[in-house]
Structure 1
Amino acid sequence: MIGFALNTLRHRKAAFAGAFLALVCAAALVCACGILLDTGLRGAVEPVRYAGTPVLVAGDQNVRETTRDGDKVKSKAKPVSDRAWIPSSLADRLRTVPGVRKVVTEVTFPATVEGRPVWGHGWESAPLTPFTLREGRAPAAGEVVADAAAGLSVGSRVNVRTATATRVYRVAGVTTEALDQRTSLFFSTEEAARLAGRPGMVSVIGVFPEVDVAPALAGTPGVVYTGDERGRIEFLNAEKARIKLVSLGGALGGTSLIVAILVVVGTFALSIQQRQRELALLRAVAATPRQIRRLIGGEALLVGLPAGLLGAGLGVGLAFWLRSQFVGLGVMPANLSLVVGFFPPAAAVLAVLGAAWTAARVSGRRTARIRPVEALGEAAVRPPGISPGRTIAGLACLGGGVALTLLLSTLETEAASSPVTMLTALVWTIAVALLGPIIARAATAVLGLPLRAFRVSGHLAAANLRTGTHRFASVVTPLSLMIAMTCTILFVQDTMGHAVVEQSRQGNRADYVLGPRLPGVTADAVRRLEGVEVVTEVMRTSVRVGLERYGAQGVTTAGLERTMDLGVSAGSLGRMGADTLAVSETAARSLGVEVADEVRLTLGDGTPVTLAVAAIYRRGLGFGDLTLPHALVAAHVDDPLNQTALVSAPSVRRDALAAVLGGVGVLDRVEATAEQSNAGVNYVAMGLIIAFTAIAVVNTIAMATSDRTRELALLRLVGTTRRQLMRMLRLETLMAVLVAVTLGTLIALVTLSAFSTGMTGSALPYVPVLTYLEVIAAAAALALLATVLPALLALRSRPAEAIGTRE
């Protein structure tokens, strides 16, 4: 049968071209997602600033939790969001270790030079890279040394803004070295310690040469980092990027595989429908069902293997393109290299082979099982119904869609709801695909009446739809999938962004919003202005309760209720003090706490604290799940500059505030809540799924149209004009688009409503009408393009020649 399958492929290249293209795209997606997942699991960030330091001692950047299940002890760890500092006294302990020649301490803090972000250090840490002076000398009080990339010269003066103050410094020296991605500015040791605001603490200790210093650190917060682990300490966002890649690669890969199977099954089903007569003849000349199954399976493997290999190769390039997009969006450090191993391409090839073989066997199951006597009749007039097994599977998927929808409506966190959202839309789409012929038959019965108003073309279109429900269903399925997936992906982000903006708008009572990156001294200067009633400083961070991560804000509590309305449902913001916090209703349900209960949490730098609940509020999406005292948050984050400050000053003019701020933005209430959340990463990643489904739409419709050459030739022989045939095909395609739009919109709407219910408390999602119309217009344009071009090619030949070719 393999030889026969080869002959079939050789003489029916066009019939298998669509399946080949679908499999190539599927393999590319699966391979790219596998590489992202593998990079998240095994990728390492090479150190840059610490490349010349053999051993680093720094804080533990993880929250750890140990559980015991009988005799088994399990330990889990999750990264904190900011740098964990360690006591400077550890340096003295390390100097006593035999073999240690030199110990270098460092403090690290963010600063801004003429509007450009830089990292500040003390000059004593210059040997860690090492940095050497190209000109000038080491900095004294009121002076700095700039690296070669800063573009500063010796003797010049620069305005440096830090969290504590804005001051002019003289450039005392310029280094020979410059680092990629990190511009450095060196202060005197005493000045750096003051600006860092962590007395008695350092961010990193470097040890020369490489010796085992772990025993000397027993019982201390110091952790030893060597090799590529040093990069994790230098680039704290690298660990978050790796976790993001794991979740994104897994979710995107799983979604891609399910979509690929759905698309490939539909493509193979259409291909086998087009070969019903050929397969029926084989059954009529005594081919056994097993031989037919082996033939179809062999064809699938022969198509799937080269498609998988080609797709895996393209997937490697796609993974590098995704990496460049993520680096550009700032969610992945540029020196986190992709891990391109053997397993992702191999898994892509195996997944594609499995999908192709399964799709072909499932699609050809009916043809292989019918009796030889019935085979030609089956091929000539395909029964309009579907098998009992397919009906049961379709009903089971409908039940699964209902169950997932109900589950989704109860999920209140984005991490939990995101994968379920895509799975819900897919399960509904699979149900539509399985029950497609039934839906198509019902749709054609309804649409047949208006079609007949178009006289010849309309009557022909209605008749074709009525007799070709399986073909009609095979066209509707990928269109429905494309519309459902596109609307779900786009409008999930819009629904969340709109809810955040609405809650922020409703909760903002301030007259002005200052920021971003506002120093505390500037906020104090605003407080002293005549007419300013309240200034609430706001700082964003994330904390962990146990291992669960929660978004949080730190706020100054004096007069808080005059600038911010969190929608308090229990307790009072007036009770907030240095040892209290406020909790959103979502977080309160998750943590099982009420007013006056205590919450033990871990701050951004890994410091544990216990705070009492002073209030519970509704607007967690707009303001974060936890609201903490500003002073507590500021002492435990890398960048203690305020994101914003809310100002209650009804009698103060905007230009009066701007004069005090020195370049910091002044926004009114409307301007401050106009920006949507950044969902670029999700758009880039899930956009690949949309592109894949778009290709599947064009592929399927083009295959369906190309196979109708003989039918079109017969219609031309009986007097139908080319113009009437093209109008007939366009009407059929528009009917398919109409049905697909209805089904895809319903799937997306059900999914989005469940998502919105769980995440925002409202069953009404936010759907921009113009964007929705653009999605529908794009789907219709693709469908018409995929119909018209093959039809024009088919109509170029003479009717008699076209019939002879098919015979």
Structure 2
Amino acid sequence: MEVMISIALRTLRHRRAGFAGAFVALLFAAALVTACGMLLETGLRGSVAPERYAGTPVIVAGDQFVRQTKAGGKSKAKPVSERRWIPASIAEEVSRIPGVTKVVTEVTFPFAGFTAHGWESAQLTPFTLAGGRAPNAAGEVVVDARNATAKIPGYRVVGVTAQALPSQDTIFFTTREARRLAGHAGLVTAIGVFPQVDVTVKGALAYTGDERGALEFLDAESARVKLISLGGALGGTSLLVAILVVVGTFALSLQQRQRELAMLRAVAATPRQVRKLIGGEALLVSVAAGLLGSVAGMLVGFWLQARFVALGAMPANLPLVVSPFPALASVAVTLVAAWTAARVSARRITRIRPVEALGEAALPGSRLPWARTVAGVVVLAGGVVLTIVLSSLSTEAAASPVTMLTALVWTIAVALLGPAIARVAAAVPPRAAGAGGYLALKNLRAGTRRLASVITPLALMTAMTCTILFVQTTMGHAGQNEVNAGLKADYVLGPGASAAGVREVPGVRAATEVLRTTARIGLEKFSVQAVTPDGLDRTMDLDVTAGSLAGFGTTSAALSRTAAERLDAGVGDQIELALGDGTPAVVKVAAIYTRGLGFGDLTLSHQLVAAHVDDPRGTVLVSGGDRAALERALPGVTVRAQAEAGEIGTSNAAVNYVAMGLIIAFCAIAVVNTLAMSTSARSRELALLRLVGATRRQILRMLRTETLVATVVAVVIGTGISLVTVTAFSVGMTGSAAPYLPPLTYLAVIAAPAALALIATVIPARFALRVHPTEALGARE
């Protein structure tokens, strides 16, 4: 083994260019796996330090989870989307606990971009005044030090605190005004307890340590759950892509060294020795690439965190967990992937007789090994099965990972059956003009293995890019179409308007208040719109297919067709659900409608939901009336025409673009890497062509023609894979077999791999053509 490692080291020293492609592929694979591992670990182990509650030893508040006990007594919990409030009377009970010296109640709610509280709770942090005084009247406020010059519409700033919290802008009202604005009579968000004592009360929980941070920043818990899902899905997809790219790169590298390996067999090297040599080379390259890639992956992880914070997908005060585990995992993964890829790629040359190896090196066979053919057919069948499964999935959480897996499985089938596809593709192109075109077509027909190695990364890049982009456009387009078809209102009013006040404006025929939130049925999350039923038929059309919205009341619910299928519920059925803050409710299904993408999975009563959301100020849909009259009657309220309401988007589109963009970038690197390796390895061939009279222009035209053919074939295959995948996704999610593919976006998508392919071909070719033909032929391979 030591002898083979020594030979492997010498081989690496003298064939650095030959192993550069494998090193690059492994390095970026390690970086991707490390970055995804950091996201996953942050989701599993990350925590948020308290800011506002940092000075309070114990916080008493509601349970911010919906819990369910499964069969066998196992309990599962999911975070609520709105803050759960508790009765203010609990403060008296807490104050009687032995050892408690002070109890402070507080209300927390959003207001004009601030986190708002009553002045009584300023002592929790504590906040002290740097100037001015505390608010004494309903129209007075105190702002934090960072917003000392802020103007608050309808209120007068009478004081500025000496402190400002790192990640939240704070404003204080009088205690009475804060509770009025919050709209939760008799309830508070939390109770601060001094000093730290054991607190046990009915209907609330005691939070200490980092638990206070999770209570203070509810979005941090949701972000952790999202990071677990995103890190796992992205990591799994990255791993499969990495394995596919690494296997392809090693296969191309060994294909270029086939003559050398055949010579080793001819001079009495046993198959085992050749396998050890190749495995040793793979181990050496993968260890170096894995170590460097894991360091690069940490930088990528921090970049992803910064982008997700900017997009609002995770809070800034949820720090990325940094530990050696993702780096160690990435090194192990790249090592195993490289070793397996090298051994699989060298399988044929180590199994045949030395004379056959030399003959195949001189004239590569075009026949596809039967094992590879069988594997390709099996994976192809797997792609069919996954496509069928995907077409039956109607939730984004379930469909998204299966979508990427489906596209990958189809691409793996293409990689396995690549030589057969390349033979068909090489036979199709018509006669090309000129000597360059003639040579290109002859090369394509003679070098189907090389063509197949180029087609795979190009097809992978096209398929992944199209799938990622067009899944989002399909969902957004379908939802927008439903909104456009179902929104009958003439105007959309921003927060601050009330339906009762709007109805008094001359000319207004109907006004509907709308709140957006979520609810859980069991532990499954559903999107919710809460509406006031009066005049609902004049402001929106949900396209009811069963039941009726007439007589829609506080305990009524309407379900989208998709939600009804998921719940196996129909008109007249009762449903137990947990509202946004976890409060249980029982509603009766009054109607089933089709426009769930545009208007939510569930439609509930505004009266039922308003008391269970952090901000009860939603939008108001108005039918009839005049814009100028509405603006005069509702000063400070945004009035938009229905056409100006803006387009809706899928919930995680931007986050998905950023995360999956890394995989697209990896695919792009694989394209450049493969083509550069393929072109650079042909220096002797190009030198011979020049010696027999071919000009540089003819050779470059030959290479461009070959690349163009490979790109066209790959784009067709990648587009086909994406079209099949996105169509199945569309069938399941929207009920339509017509996905939305913006033409200009598609043209940009196919232009990118074409440009990369041409650049990766022409630049190495120009360097190779600078060398004199005799020098190129005499150079060591």
What are the equivalent positions in structure 2 for 1:193-272 lying under 5 Å apart? 193-214=179-200, 217=201, 220-272=202-254
3-state secondary structure, aligned to 2:553: coil
Where does residue 659 of structure 2 map in the other structure?
Answer: 685
Where does residue 657 of structure 1 map in the other structure?
Answer: 630
Which of 747, 752, 773 is residue 799 of structure 1 equivalent to?
Answer: 773
What are the equivalent positions in structure 2 for 1:59-98 lying under 5 Å apart? 59-69=62-72, 73-98=73-98
3-state secondary structure, aligned to 1:487: helix
Where does residue 609 of structure 1 map in the other structure?
Answer: 585
1:139-192 residue CA offsets vs partner (Å, 9 max, x unmatched): 212222222122249xxxx544xxxxxxx3333322111112212221222222
Moved more, 477-486 or 100-109: 100-109
Q: Does 1:382 align with 2:364?
A: yes
Q: Does 1:18 align with 2:18?
A: no
Distance 2:765 2:672 in 1: 13
CA drift of 1:806 comes to: 4.2
CA drift of 1:237 comes to: 0.5
The answer as to whether partners of 1:505 and 1:673 remain within 8 angstroms in 2 is: no
3-state secondary structure, aligned to 1:337: coil
Where does residue 489 of structure 2 map in the other structure?
Answer: 510
Where does residue 165 of structure 1 map in the other structure?
Answer: none
Q: Does 1:145 align with 2:142?
A: yes
How many aligned positions are there? 776
Where does residue 123 of structure 1 map in the other structure?
Answer: 119
Q: Does 1:480 align with 2:466?
A: no
Where does residue 645 of structure 1 map in the other structure?
Answer: 620
Q: Does 1:404 align with 2:404?
A: no
Where does residue 784 of structure 1 map in the other structure?
Answer: 758
Where does residue 12 of structure 2 map in the other structure?
Answer: 9
Distance 1:483 1:405 in 2: 18
3-state secondary structure, aligned to 2:428: helix
3-state secondary structure, aligned to 1:76: strand
3-state secondary structure, aligned to 1:533: strand
What are the equivalent positions in structure 2 for 1:302-313 lying under 5 Å apart? 302-313=284-295
Distance 1:61 1:104 in 2: 20
Counterpart code for 1:132: T
What are the equivalent positions in structure 2 for 1:123-522 lying under 5 Å apart? 123-142=119-138, 143-152=140-149, 159-160=152-153, 168-214=154-200, 217=201, 220-447=202-429, 450=430, 452-515=431-494, 517-520=495-498
CA drift of 1:499 comes to: 0.6
Distance 1:144 1:663, change over 3 A: closer
The answer as to whether partners of 2:65 and 2:79 remain within 8 angstroms in 1 is: yes
Distance 2:122 2:497 in 1: 27
1:97-141 residue CA offsets vs partner (Å, 9 max, x unmatched): 2221211111112212xxxx1122111111110011122332212
Aligned-pair Cα RMSD in Å = 1.2
3-state secondary structure, aligned to 1:730: helix
Distance 1:352 1:169 in 2: 60
Q: Does 1:39 align with 2:42?
A: yes
Unaligned runs of 5+ in 2: none
Where does residue 110 of structure 2 map in the other structure?
Answer: 110
Counterpart code for 1:79: P
Counterpart code for 1:253: G
The answer as to whether partners of 2:103 and 2:193 remain within 8 angstroms in 1 is: yes
Q: Sequence identity of aligned pairs in percent?
A: 65
CA drift of 1:81 comes to: 0.4
What are the equivalent positions in structure 2 for 1:639-788 lying under 5 Å apart? 639-642=615-618, 644-649=619-624, 652-677=625-650, 679-788=653-762
Relative to the length of structure 2, the TM-score reads 0.98
Distance 1:299 1:257 in 2: 21
Distance 2:175 2:629 in 1: 38
3-state secondary structure, aligned to 1:362: helix
Which of 27, 31, 49 is residue 28 of structure 1 equivalent to?
Answer: 31
3-state secondary structure, aligned to 1:573: coil
Distance 1:439 1:159 in 2: 67
Unaligned runs of 5+ in 1: 161-167
The answer as to whether partners of 1:501 and 1:673 remain within 8 angstroms in 2 is: no
Runs of 4+, deviation exceeding 3 Å: 673-678
The answer as to whether partners of 2:116 and 2:172 remain within 8 angstroms in 1 is: yes
Distance 1:664 1:258 in 2: 51
The answer as to whether partners of 1:86 and 1:201 remain within 8 angstroms in 2 is: yes
Counterpart code for 1:499: A
Distance 2:378 2:450 in 1: 23
Distance 1:453 1:688 in 2: 37
The answer as to whether partners of 2:182 and 2:615 remain within 8 angstroms in 1 is: no
The answer as to whether partners of 1:83 and 1:605 remain within 8 angstroms in 2 is: yes
The answer as to whether partners of 2:368 and 2:419 remain within 8 angstroms in 1 is: yes
Where does residue 53 of structure 2 map in the other structure?
Answer: 50
CA drift of 1:331 comes to: 1.4
Distance 1:614 1:753 in 2: 32
3-state secondary structure, aligned to 2:615: coil
CA drift of 1:209 comes to: 1.1
1:601-629 residue CA offsets vs partner (Å, 9 max, x unmatched): 00111110001011000000000000000
